Amino acid sequence: MIELGTLETVPVRDIWRDEAKDFTPWLADQGNLDFLGRAVGMKLKFAGMEESVGRYSADLVCELVGGGKAVIENQLKETDHDHLGKLLTYAAHMDAEIVIWVSQSCTDEHRAAVDWLNRRSSRKLGFFAVEIHALRIGHSKPAPRFKVVARPRDWVRQRGGTDDLPPTESRDPQGFWHGFREFVYGQNSTALKLTKPGGGGRWMVTGRFGISGTHIGAVALREERGLRAELVLDGAQSSARYECLLACLERVRSAQRFPEELTWSREKTRVYWTLTTDFDDATQRMKQYRWLFDRLEELKRLFAPLLRELNDLGWPAPERPEQLAADHQKRP
């Protein structure tokens, strides 16, 4: 039998004990700048370290392909207001086109601030928030990992011209789904599997059950100013399947972890939760992502075993949904 190792997280302070003496010189190495550059989607060429900005000094300054400068501010701890202020000061003094904030952990508030800066800035100026992590397997050397947690929503990679975000505004309005994808894959563990946004950026399939005609989806209700996490039944037998599922309503109610009631729609053959929210308020983005992620995970937990049991009993059967439900209740 093949033996596999376990991927472990290494505290970054165990590797770089001092931000100025250890981490910044390490990142200044061109090979490591290339590693960061691949994460943010651009070529970064070292131009200076601890560059003087009045009474302060910018950690790193880089040149960009085609001209222009990038300023990098490092912080081997959770982001704070002090470093945000320094970052803006350095960017203004250097007349930078790209601003990269590297930290051990970016708070929701500072991530929202970076999103706001990108939304309010011209296309010639871009802000990135990047987390630095370290991983290893067993007793191997630790490996660095840069995780981009905020970036310009219409950012396009300079090398190769590859879109780093969904390529059209109509497919992904306001970068919402791209940000949600990064949020989901940034979780330690998840059963969700995301597809590309569909319906003009209105919805995204986020999980399947291995049973045709069933899936979990996320919907952005922009005109109604809401989000929806839903279980979808579709296909020719969707109505019959819905009736079978509805007969198990009390089992679902007793098992669910959230206080708000699920909406059961016979017309749409869907079961869902809805959140009223403002998509234009970037400060709410992390709350929106958290709400959506938690409800989608809960739908998967609630309905995956139930759908498998009903499928094993032979659904759909348009002429006998009540019998299917009765058979299900008899199960141990």
The per-residue pLDDT for range 265-296, each reduced to its tens digit, is 999 999 999 999 887 676 788 889 999 999 99
Q: In this model, does residue 163 exceed pLDDT 50?
A: no
What is the spatial distance between Cα 50 and Cα 283, in angstroms, rounded to a whole number? Answer: 32
Q: Judge contact between 262 and 270, C-beta under 8 A.
A: no
Greater confidence (146 vs 323) lies with 146
Q: Kindly tell me the burial class for residue 188, based on how many C-beta atoms sit within 10 Å of its own C-beta (0-12, 13-18, 19 or more).
A: exposed
Residue 237 contacts by C-beta under 8 Å, 6 or more apart in sequence? 213, 315, 316, 318
Residue 238, amino acid: S
For the beta carbon of residue 249, count every other beta carbon within 10 angstroms.
Answer: 13
Among 74-78, 98-102, 109-113, 117-121, the least confident range: 117-121
What is the spatial distance between Cα 157 and Cα 161, in angstroms, rounded to a whole number? Answer: 5
Average pLDDT over residues 21-25: 94
Shortest CA distance to 6 belongs to which of 106, 140, 132, 198?
A: 140
Among 168-172, 186-190, 308-312, the least confident range: 168-172
- CA–chain centroid gap for 21, Å, is 33
- CA–chain centroid gap for 206, Å, is 12
What is the spatial distance between Cα 125 and Cα 109, in angstroms, rounded to a whole number? Answer: 21
Mean pLDDT for the chain overall:
83
Per-residue pLDDT, 41: 82
Per-residue pLDDT, 151: 85
Per-residue pLDDT, 63: 93
Per-residue pLDDT, 29: 94
Shortest CA distance to 229 belongs to which of 266, 199, 273?
A: 273
Q: What's the CA dihedral at 112, 207, 170, 99 to 10 degrees?
A: 30
Per-residue pLDDT, 316: 60
Please name every residue paired with 70 in a beta bridge, in sequence order, or none if there are none: 62, 98
Per-residue pLDDT, 161: 34
